[in-house]
């Protein structure tokens, strides 16, 4: 065996020990799959995102005396979920663009968290701009290549109608501008972008050019999206490692998933 | 005048809920024609097509000329109460629990004499109208009522047994988002329902009648989504024991048939709401309602489905929606059979295209929400099983009865002309 293998092996042993002692905290960034959790709403003549539903098959009764289980149904994009490049028209022809063909090592990696919670508190349409990203970098260093970038808005603390925040002219929630996405995707070469809102894009992102810039640029470049997350306020600006493996659905465009962040205890935010 | 019913007192929790019993439900096949007429509140008898003799009781051959051609006809219900008596005891458990009970004989102006139940405001020798209604066993019986209105006549105990009057009853309207929810709520308030529960799905997104619904007296908005079994279970846990009338107005409609849709997604949504929604509600609320069919003045009394008349014959431009309603119609017949032990009526209210966003490009006449609401209330007050709202629905069912295959042909010829 090589030294590298021995090192890796001892690193994993130490890693397990650090989890056990709590030196590394596991933070759950996932909402519970709940039938009443909001999903994205499109104009009603379009097909819609299926809500999460459960039907009990048996519960230790005449339908199955010793066991309880459910059938559940939902959309690939229900609840806390992963977007693969194939989800968007800009990523339709890329190689390995579906959840079953993405290399599994892409599901583990570092994450930078840009705190936009102050601005989002007072402005429902708060925009993540290149200026905000550059200001963050002056404080925390340049966003490392191939890392996840999360936009923290504390939007996940909202519930009910406040969450989608739907008005007559559509949804109002924070998100990145096209310029911010180009900076992140083209210049910083990030692996993916994640939010607490119902999508990676702002509520009013249909009116940007191009429309839905987070989807358009991320997936056009083969990068990933995570949305409907929570607990981003428990993450440090840098230093956390993300586990975000979607279900292995054949040619799937995304999937609900459990998003976990490994956070060094001393760095835990909040 | 009739002594008005009063709001029932709170139940004594130490008393067993009275188990529903039924009046005799055995009838000859010929006599079932009366039940079919009563289902729509019609007064019909057989008239011999050879000699014109009006028949009573219903029979297989003319009492006068033995012809077997005895079509059912709407006839004048006017007559005179020529004899009456009061039954004070009975071997039948249902009547035994409800004595004293008035019965009598009415001589119709058209000829036949008919044994019937008698309203409290009618005296022997007076002119009466006979109404043909379904009793708690679902069979047709006649009730002699005054020719004019008398005070509180709907509150007559024998009449109230034959109807599903919302007065002082508790209603559940299953879908606050349906375009007819507001009209239904107002109509039930007007009809003196004591509580109007309204199920609201997905409170995280708005809908037009949101505020107005809350302003209707007696309305309580509660979470309910008929596509979510857990939500139906939860609501039934709260109000299943005090739902006297359930109005299932939840429906999912999208234009389109088979080939102009690229998938089965909308079709599944239609089935999920229009068929499985009904099934979930029936599985979960049905047993409680069936058990409370004789629970005093505010017993469980009726289950109402708001359906499309294209349940009877497919309208290809809304072909998949029609199919989901056909499934719901069939399931409602099963529900009727299962609720009959409790004497709880299943009333289907059928309409043609409704005044809403999904029928917007169709030409009038379209059925307004208020028309549906009026029909629901009047149908309950008459204790009906089948109600057809608006000219389109009435015309369609007439053509269906004349010949379903001919109607199917017509529906095919008309496809694509309206939408």
B380 and B255 fall within a common domain = yes
pLDDT at B192 over 60: yes
What CATH number is associated with residue B370? 3.40.50.720
Q: How many residues does chain B have?
A: 419
Q: Name the pairing type of β-strands A166-167 and A170-171.
A: antiparallel
Supply the pLDDT for residue A2.
61
CB B295 within 8 A of CB B357: no
Of the three residues B145, B162, B179, the one that is the final residue of a domain is: B162
Supply the pLDDT for residue A270.
47
B214 and B149 fall within a common domain = no
Cα separation, B57 vs B66, in Å, equals: 14
Number of Cβ within a 10 Å radius of residue A197 = 25
Of the three residues B162, B193, B224, the one that is the final residue of a domain is: B162
* Per-residue model confidence as pLDDT tens digits over B257-283: 999 888 999 999 999 999 999 999 999
In a domain, B419, yes or no: no
> What's the average model confidence in pLDDT over A96-125?
98
Chain mean pLDDT for chain A: 96
For residue A16 the two structure tokens come to 């397990």
B298 and B389 fall within a common domain = yes
* A161 touching chain B per CB within 8 A: yes
Supply the pLDDT for residue B419.
45
Residue B100 CA to chain centroid, in angstroms? 28
* Per-residue model confidence as pLDDT tens digits over A217-244: 999 999 999 999 999 999 999 999 999 9
In a domain, A230, yes or no: yes
In a domain, B5, yes or no: no
In a domain, B27, yes or no: no
Chain mean pLDDT for chain B: 96
B214 and B264 fall within a common domain = yes
In a domain, A176, yes or no: yes
In a domain, A19, yes or no: no
B274 and B132 fall within a common domain = no
For residue B243 the two structure tokens come to 């739902």
* Per-residue model confidence as pLDDT tens digits over B246-258: 999 999 999 999 9
Nearest by CB: B205 against A47, A159, A166 = A166
Supply the pLDDT for residue B262.
85
* B330 touching chain A per CB within 8 A: no
Complex ipTM = 0.92
Residues of A known to be catalytic: 87
pLDDT at B9 over 80: yes
* Per-residue model confidence as pLDDT tens digits over B107-140: 999 999 999 999 999 999 999 999 999 999 999 9
Edge-to-edge, what's the strand order for the sheet holding B54-55? B54-55, B44-47, B72-74
B192 and B135 fall within a common domain = no
pTM of the model: 0.95
B282 and B179 fall within a common domain = yes
In a domain, A63, yes or no: no
Number of domains in chain A: 1
B146 and B281 fall within a common domain = no
What CATH number is associated with residue A152? 3.50.30.50
| Domain containing residue A187 | 24-49+76-267
In a domain, A18, yes or no: no
pLDDT at A1 over 60: no
Cα dist from A268 to A17, A18, A201, B139, B216, whole Å: 18, 14, 27, 73, 51
Confidence of residue B89 (pLDDT cuts 50, 70, 90): very high
B65 and B94 fall within a common domain = yes
Supply the pLDDT for residue B1.
85
Which chain B residues have a beta carbon less than 8 Å from that of A53? 227-229
Of the three residues B95, B128, B162, the one that is the final residue of a domain is: B162
Supply the pLDDT for residue A4.
67
B149 and B177 fall within a common domain = no
In a domain, A17, yes or no: no
Best probe of the A interface among B177, B201, B202, B231, by most A CBs < 10 A, is B202
B109 and B227 fall within a common domain = no
Q: SS3 sequence, B229-290?
A: HHHHHHHHHHHHHHCCEEEECCCCCCCCCCCCCCCCHHHHHHHHHHHHHHHHHHHHHHHHHH
* B-chain residue closest to A163, CA distance: B204
- Residue B95: half-sphere exposure toward Cβ, Cα within 13 Å: 16
In a domain, B133, yes or no: yes
Number of domains in chain B: 2
In a domain, A143, yes or no: yes
Are residues B263 and A47, on separate chains, in Cβ contact within 8 Å? yes
| Domain containing residue B108 | 32-162
B385 and B282 fall within a common domain = yes
Q: Which of these, A270, A244, A237, A266, lies nearest to A102 by C-alpha position?
A: A244
In a domain, A4, yes or no: no
Best probe of the B interface among A33, A36, A70, by most B CBs < 10 A, is A36
CB B20 within 8 A of CB B294: yes
* Per-residue model confidence as pLDDT tens digits over B362-411: 999 999 999 999 999 999 999 999 999 999 999 999 999 999 999 999 99
């Amino acid at each position: 065996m090589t030294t590298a293998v021995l090192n890796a092996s001892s690193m994993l042993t130490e890693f397990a020990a650090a989890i056990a002692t709590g030196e590394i905290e596991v933070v759950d960034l996932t909402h519970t799959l709940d039938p009443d959790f909001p999903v994205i709403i499109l104009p009603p003549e379009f097909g819609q995102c299926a809500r999460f539903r459960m039907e009990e098959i048996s519960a230790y009764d005449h339908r199955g005396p010793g066991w309880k289980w459910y059938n559940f149904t939902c959309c690939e994009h229900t609840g806390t979920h992963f977007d693969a490049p194939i989800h968007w028209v800009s990523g339709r022809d890329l190689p390995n663009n579906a959840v079953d063909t993405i290399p599994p090592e892409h599901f583990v990696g570092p994450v930078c968290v840009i705190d936009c919670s102050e601005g989002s508190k007072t402005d429902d349409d708060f925009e993540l701009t290149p200026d905000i990203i550059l200001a963050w970098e002056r404080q925390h260093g340049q966003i490392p290549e191939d890392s996840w970038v999360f936009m923290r808005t504390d939007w996940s603390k909202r519930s009910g109608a406040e969450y989608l925040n739907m008005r007559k002219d559509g949804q109002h929630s924070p998100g990145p501008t096209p310029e911010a996405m180009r900076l992140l995707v083209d210049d910083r070469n990030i692996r993916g972008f994640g939010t607490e809102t119902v999508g990676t894009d702002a509520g009013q992102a249909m009116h940007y050019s191009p429309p839905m810039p987070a989807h358009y640029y991320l997936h056009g470049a083969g990068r990933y999206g995570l949305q409907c997350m929570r607990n981003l306020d428990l993450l440090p600006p840098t230093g956390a490692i993300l586990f975000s493996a979607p279900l292995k659905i054949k040619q799937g465009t995304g999937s609900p998933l459990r998003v976990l962040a490994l956070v060094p205890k001393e760095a835990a935010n909040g | 005048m009739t002594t008005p019913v009063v709001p029932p007192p709170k139940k004594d929790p130490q008393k067993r809920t009275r188990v529903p019993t039924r009046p005799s439900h055995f009838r000859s096949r010929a006599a079932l024609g009366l039940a079919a007429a009563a289902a729509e509140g019609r007064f019909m008898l057989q008239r011999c097509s050879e000699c014109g003799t009006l028949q009573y009781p219903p029979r297989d051959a003319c009492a006068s000329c033995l012809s077997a051609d005895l079509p059912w006809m709407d006839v004048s219900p006017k007559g005179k109460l020529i004899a009456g008596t009061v039954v004070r005891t009975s071997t039948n458990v249902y009547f035994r629990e409800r004595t004293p009970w008035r019965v009598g004989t009415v001589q119709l102006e058209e000829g036949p004499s008919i044994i019937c139940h008698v309203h409290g405001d009618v005296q022997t020798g007076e002119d009466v109208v006979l109404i043909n209604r379904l009793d708690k066993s679902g069979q047709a019986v006649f009730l002699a009522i005054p020719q004019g209105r008398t005070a509180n006549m709907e509150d007559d105990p024998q009449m109230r047994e034959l109807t599903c009057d919302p007065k002082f009853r508790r209603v559940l309207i299953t879908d606050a988002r349906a375009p007819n929810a507001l009209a239904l709520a107002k109509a039930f308030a007007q009809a003196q329902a004591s509580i109007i529960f309204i199920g609201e799905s997905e409170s995280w997104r708005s809908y037009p009648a949101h505020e107005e619904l809350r302003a209707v007296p007696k309305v309580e908005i509660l979470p309910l989504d008929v596509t979510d079994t857990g939500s139906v279970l939860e609501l039934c846990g709260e109000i299943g024991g005090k739902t006297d009338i359930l109005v299932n107005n939840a429906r999912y409609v999208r234009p389109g048939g088979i080939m102009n849709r690229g998938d089965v997604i909308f079709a599944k949504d239609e089935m999920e709401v229009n068929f499985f929604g009904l099934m979930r509600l029936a599985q979960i609320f049905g047993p409680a309602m069936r058990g409370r069919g004789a629970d005093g003045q505010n017993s469980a009394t009726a289950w109402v489905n708001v359906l499309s008349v294209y349940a009877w014959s497919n309208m290809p431009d809304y072909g998949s929606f029609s199919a989901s309603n056909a499934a719901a119609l069939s399931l409602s017949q099963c529900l009727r059979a299962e609720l009959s032990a409790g004497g709880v009526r299943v009333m289907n209210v059928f309409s043609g295209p409704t005044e809403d966003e999904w029928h917007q490009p169709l030409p009038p006449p379209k059925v307004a929400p208020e028309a549906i609401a009026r029909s629901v209330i009047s149908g309950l007050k008459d204790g009906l099983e089948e109600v057809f709202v608006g000219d389109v629905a009435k015309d369609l069912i007439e053509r269906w009865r004349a010949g379903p295959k001919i109607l199917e042909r017509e529906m095919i010829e008309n496809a694509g002309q309206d939408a």
